[in-house]
Chains A and B, each alone.
Chain A
Amino acid sequence: MKNISDSIPKVDAHEKLSGSAKYVSDYMLEDMHYAKTVRSPHAKAKIKAIHIPTLKPGVHVFGAKDIPAKNHVNMIFDDWPVFAEETVNHVGEPVLLVVAPDRKLLKETVDAIQVEYDPLTPEFSLKAFAVHKAFKKGDAEKAFSEADEIIEETYETGYQEQAYIEPQGFIGTYEDGKTTLIGSIQCPYYVKNALLVTLGCAENEVQVIQAEVGGAFGGKEEFPSLMACQLAIAVRTLKKPIKMIYEREEDMAVTTKRHPSKTRMRAAIKDGRVQAIEAHVSLDAGAYTGLSGVVLSRAMLAVSSAYTIPNLDVSGHAYITNTVPNGAFRGFGAPQMIFAIEMFMHHIGKALGDDPYHFRRKHLVKQGDLTATAGIYRDPILMDKMIDKATAMADYHKKVHAYNAPDVYRGIGMSWFLHGCGFTGSGEAEHIKSKVRLRKDEANRVHILVAAVDMGQGAKTTLRKVVAHVLKLPLDQVIFDNPDTDRVPDSGPTVASRTAMIVGGLLARAAEKLKTSWEDGVAYTVEEQYKQPDYIKWDEDTMQGDAYPAYSWGVNIVEVAVDPVTYQVDVIGIWSVYDVGKALDERIIMGQADGGQAQGVAYGYLEVMAHKQGVLQHKNMTDYIIPTSVDMAPTENVVIDNPYAFGPYGAKGAGELSLVGGAPAVAQAIEQAIGKKICKIPATPEHIEELMRRESH
């Protein structure tokens, strides 16, 4: 049988390239209305009065008072209102939703509505926290008291915008008592569950269907639930199809972004080794907590990344500020922490006068070591081999030596990292309880029934391949239509690098079941549900045990040239080696590698977003700079096999891994090129200019 890793054309390539793929804005329904949000211009204010002008026929306005049940978006933290009620807490917070039969009338009505506010004093600094978490490993206190030396640094990271090609959008329809929402989403059941809570209706009164998704990167994990709840209220009342598509500016101004962070790290050094690290990470959650607590967990769990540090004292806060809520974004807290720890280990190595490379390598994780939370790295770790491979590909050792010479303005940086696959802790077993089905029809075609979304990452191709391979069926006998909550069970959200490993693993098991029971020409369905491997133990309260069932690993090397006249950074080359267990399709993994690296490296040196008094200054794709093909360097990526027992054909998570190490690799390269320490990203030309100026004075 063929190797599953052998690439096939992506199953959705043709419809996307030919333009036949149907995105939510392509839906045109009879008597379709349009919706637009009235938003707060204030970062914090009391709503004094709302003045709605006489509405033209067909125009309607909805707000907090129209919510049938709960005025919050169902998430882990229930502090995020569907519509602001008494106060607004960030610029752009939704106050009302206007629906009109045409867009001109819609715009005119939105502009004519007057909301009176009493401005309050907003908070932009990290003062009030909504979430606090902490865990320890070993005895950090003792290690600090016995240390030869203590080294301390603080690392900062900025916002990052997902910049998916397709802005957020939904269309809602109503038929026979059922409200259906078709949207650009990652998590059909998150949306459905949010609707049930806000509408207070029965299961069968709402249905959620995924339209083709033009990119998501985490940005369509929790935010769509907010839009869906608002729209559903209007759809159920008016019983008409209503469309709400954000414009780029609206999308960038009000949707979730990557949390800005500040991480203080202290290390206790003895005998040339890091004996303990004390780390405190602060995340800016924005106005509402949302998923920030889980993002904080993942950040904290990545504290020692690919190193084994015997003693740890880790804590974190997610702070509430009067800014747009931050949320899920590929990497989910890990990029912030991996930037901090990779720079810190490098900086410690330098401070100790050791070669940072050798210093770091001394601390590298080995199979059987204890994780940050005293779980066990049970599976083989191939990092030694991967580092050797990557350094050889990049000619790292020669370059790192050559670029130490003054005035060459070149640098090469390297990051080592892991990414926990699937939900943190007991999330998979206790919260998600993923369920998948395979339905076989009379024509012996097999239908994949899962809630997993293909947002460009290739889930449709890889999941079909898995099922087809197990059943030894041609690919076109295996059908995978976009999820519809009336048709598919809840196999969980399409997040956390879990789809191939967890959903794919369940599908492989279901396919085995189907294979054993196969009856030609008979229609029936098989089901599988997630069971945690017994050896996985996790205590949510103390954050102790196995935080993840498996880890994917990676090495990134980035080479740059910095222009000494303009401080512009030219990325010259990127070399990477990844262990994702087993590639379910080589080309798809290479796509993830190239895309993730571009996004991760750009996070480190290019992508800038900032707010002034709660107003984001980077309002569109002219202001918010993501790399073009001209900015990206040639890449050389290698994937090595290290099959994981519970993944389909050994596959582990691959979606986030390629992003999380980009920033420290490019930052280290820039650091070498300019001979100045970098503790803050993005390391823009403006930041480099500041570093150069500071020292030359």
Chain B
Amino acid sequence: MRHIIPETLEEALHVIAQGPTIKLAGGTDIMVKHRASQGLAAKLRQDVVYLLNVPDLHYIRKEDNGLRIGGMVPIETLLHHDDVPKILRDTLLDFASPGLRYVATLAGNIANASPAGDALVTLYALDALVRLKSLERTRDVPIEAVIVGPSQTTIQDDELIESVFLPDASFTHTEWRKVGTRRADAISKVAFTGCVTLDNDIVQDIRLAFGAVFKTVYRNRSLEKALIGQHRHDVVKQSDALCEKYLENIAPIDDQRSNASYRNTVTKNLLKAFIEKLS
């Protein structure tokens, strides 16, 4: 087992091209997952590639049609950056605690693929595209095609998350709600991001994403699509029916943090409250 600290992206890509490695960003998931018992070194069984300080991955850049965020930008930096959409900043403000945020990254949150990953909920709502890079190729993949289940992604061994692209979007109203076990430093029991764009009272765009109630973040584009073009009052009228449809599709669990009944009810309440704001 080797510890490798690449100085450039190029170098990092060469290292990961040689076979399976542990790609370590802030380590806030990895070090917990690989913790050994008292006094013993972490159980890292593959070569570890330290990505956090690779300068090439530390940028925030406006591009045509959107914002590109380097994979290793710490959450805390995003929180204070004016170009980062407000809904994402709102989300990140509820993320862990300040200490954690200085090292934790978006790339880590994505690759960790937890159904309760907070940033993911909003990245789903923002139609984020994840740029996966290997020596051979670069692919821009919609986030829902990157994450396929708890801890499961389509990222290949020779690929890393180079950046995340957020297509431009402007909303009339956005909302982020984290329902954690407490008010700080907590894992979400339910999380919700809602974004809506109205034009002359007609819904132009609506995005509804839910965390911690399904095997991945849950977003249903066909249900959203059905609302587009409708008058906001008509949408409000359907709120109960809409909630029911979401409840039929999500699959919350009982665990030590909460239970399915609570997660169902709160999902419904959050959605209903968001929709009713359109009235």
Residue positions of A touching B, CB distance < 8 A = 34, 103-104, 107, 245, 247, 564-568, 570, 606, 610, 617-619, 622-623, 625, 627-631, 685-686, 689-690, 693
Contact = CB atoms under 8 A, between A and B. Distances in A.
A565 B38 contact: no
B182 A693 contact: no
Contacts of B270: 565-566
Contact of B182 (A564, A610, A618, A628): A628
Contacts of B261: 686, 689-690, 693
Contact of B179 (A568, A617, A625): A568
A79 to B, nearest CB: 30
14 contacts: A103-B37, A107-B37, A566-B190, A566-B266, A623-B257, A625-B182, A629-B184, A630-B182, A631-B183, A631-B184, A685-B189, A685-B262, A686-B258, A689-B262
Contacts, number: 68
Interface size class of B (residues with CB under 8 A): 20 to 34
A608 to B, nearest CB: 8
A147 B179 CA distance: 47
B177 A566 contact: yes
Nearest to B190: A566
Interface-centre pick from A34, A566, A623 (highest chain B CB count, 10 A) = A566
B187 A622 contact: yes
Contact of B266 (A565, A610, A617): A565
Interface in B175-193: 177, 179, 181-187, 189-190
Nearest to B177: A566
B194 to A, nearest CB: 12
A566 B179 contact: yes
Nearest to B181: A625
Contacts of A568: 179
B256 interface: yes
Contacts of A107: 37, 40
Contacts of A247: 37-38
B269 A565 contact: yes
A132 B184 CA distance: 43
Given A623-B256, A625-B186, A686-B259, A693 B265 contact: yes
B273 interface: yes
Contacts of B262: 567, 685-686, 689-690
B269 A566 contact: yes
B39 interface: yes
Contacts of A629: 184
Contacts of B256: 610, 617-619, 623
Given A618-B256, A689-B266, A628 B183 contact: yes
A689 B190 CA distance: 14
Interface of B: 37-40, 97, 177, 179, 181-187, 189-190, 256-259, 261-262, 265-266, 269-270, 273
B38 A628 contact: no
B29 to A, nearest CB: 12
Given A247-B38, A686-B258, A630 B266 contact: no
B40 A104 contact: yes
A601 to B, nearest CB: 12
B37 A689 contact: no
B183 A689 contact: no
B38 A245 contact: yes
Nearest to A565: B269
B246 to A, nearest CB: 15
Contact of B184 (A567, A610, A628, A690): A628
Given A107-B40, A618-B256, A623-B257, A689 B182 contact: no
Nearest to B259: A686
Contacts of B186: 625
Nearest to A102: B39
A618 B256 CA distance: 6
Contacts of B182: 606, 625, 627-628, 630-631
Nearest to B256: A617
Nearest to B178: A566
Contacts of A693: 261, 265
A625 B259 CA distance: 16
Given A630-B183, A693-B265, A103 B259 contact: no
Given A565-B273, A630-B182, 19 more contacts: A34-B39, A103-B38, A103-B39, A107-B40, A245-B38, A247-B38, A566-B177, A566-B190, A568-B179, A623-B256, A625-B181, A627-B182, A629-B184, A630-B183, A685-B258, A685-B266, A689-B261, A690-B262, A693-B261
